[in-house]
Amino acid sequence: MNPVEGYLVVRQEPGVGFSFPPDVPNLNPRYMGVSRIPCWPSKVAEENAALELYVFNYRDDDTNLIPTLARAEELLNHLRHSPIKYEIIRCQELSPGAQLAATPWPFLGVDVVSLGDYWSIVGCFPEASDMQSYLRMLNANGLFDSPDVAFGYVHEYVDRKLERWDDRYDVLGIWRVQA
C-alpha cells in the first residue's frame, strides 16, 4: 500500500472546523492541522458550490485528500469569494523513526488524524490528566514536532481507550503550501 499523501484546503485560522460543545474545553486553540477542513454543507453560502466540488470531484475516495497541488489550487480559487480565508496544506503519512523530507514549504508539524472524517486527536485533545504531558509537547502550531512523539501519543491514546480509540489513525506531516 502506498503512503497517504496529498493536499487539503483548510481555514487559515487555528482551531478545528467545528464548535466545541459548551461543556467541552478546547485544550488546543493553536491547532493548525487537518481538522481545519470546512464542513459541508457550509453555513457560508459562498462556499457551498466549491465544497460540493471538493466532496464529489476533487478528493481521492481512498485517502480523502486532494491528489494534486493543481486541483487544490483550483479549489482554493473557488473559495476566494468566501469571507473565511483558506490555505493549502500538504499532508504526508509518516513512519516511526521517519526523517522529514525537505520541501519548499514551511513545516507546521505532525498531526494524528482519522482521515475518514478528518478528525484529529491532536486538534480535539483529550481532557485525560495522564495525557497532559503530550499537550506540553505541542509546538506553536498546536502540532507535534516529531513523528516519534506523535506515534507515542497515538499508542498511548489507543491503549487508554480514549474517545474513538478504535478508529484508524494516520500520523501525518503537515506543510503550509499556500496561504
CB 170 within 8 A of CB 115: yes
Domain segments of the chain: what residues?
Answer: 5-178
User: Collapsing DSSP states into helix, strand and coil, what is residue 91?
Assistant: strand
pLDDT at 66: 96
Question: What phi and psi values does residue 77 have, to the nearest 5 degrees?
Answer: -65, -40
Per cent of the chain over pLDDT 90 is 65
Return the C-alpha cell found at 92: 504526508
Residue type, 80: R
Tens digits of residue pLDDT in 15-52: 877 666 677 678 889 999 999 988 888 888 889 999 99
Numbers of helices and strands, H then E, in the chain: 4, 5
Q: What is the pLDDT of residues 86-145, one digit of tens each?
A: 999 999 999 998 888 888 999 999 999 998 888 899 999 998 888 999 999 999 999 999
Instruction: Give me 97's grid cell.
Output: 523513526
Query: Residue 76 pLDDT > 80, yes or no?
Result: yes
Q: Is the pTM of this model over 0.85?
A: yes
Task: Check residue 18 and give its pLDDT.
Answer: 67
What is the reported pLDDT for 20? Answer: 66
